[in-house]
Amino acid sequence: SGVIGVGFYPIFGSRVWCRYGCPMAAILGMQQKLFSKFRITTNGGQCISCGNCSAYCEMGIDVRAYAQKGQNIVRSSCVGCGICSAVCPRGVLKLENASRKNRIDSEDGILGDNIDLLDLIEQKSR
């Protein structure tokens, strides 16, 4: 099975299990979207499309595409390591301590036994 797994590396890139099969990735991705303050933000107007960010991304995210569009990286596979921002020659990417507005307060989830997470998300987004 290890040979088969390694055989997929040329097709899917590194960290095949982490990116496509790990059940913990789904849990941590949801937790990151709801609770994490750290975000990779972009200033797309200054991107020169050098591709350093995408080449150095440990999770195989096409960061350059986000930077060109001026979109913040909000993919669940992004672990927020900040390598992309460190290798960016123009400083387009930044690891920032973003606002927690419209995010779920962690205390809301522990106040009661019958908390519906989807209802809580909907209330916060209004």
Residue ranges per domain, the chain? 2-99
Which stretch of 15-19, 32-36, 115-119 has the lowest confidence by average pLDDT? Answer: 115-119
66-85 pLDDT, tens digit each: 899 888 887 767 877 889 98
The arrangement of secondary structure in 2-99, i.e. its CATH architecture, is 2-Layer Sandwich (3.30)
With CA atoms as reference, report the closest residue to 103 among 74, 83, 78. 74
**DSSP conformation letters of 13-69:** -S-HIIIII-HHHHHHHHHHHHH--EEEEE-GGG-----HHHHH-TT---HHHHHHH
- Residue 53 clears pLDDT 70, i.e. is over it: yes
Q: What backbone phi and psi angles, to 5 degrees, belong to 115?
A: -95, 120
Average pLDDT on 4-15 reads 66
What pLDDT, on a 0 to 100 scale, did the predictor assign at position 21? 75
Which stretch of 34-43, 48-57, 58-67 has the lowest confidence by average pLDDT? Answer: 34-43
- How many other C-beta atoms can be found within 10 angstroms of the C-beta atom of residue 1? 5
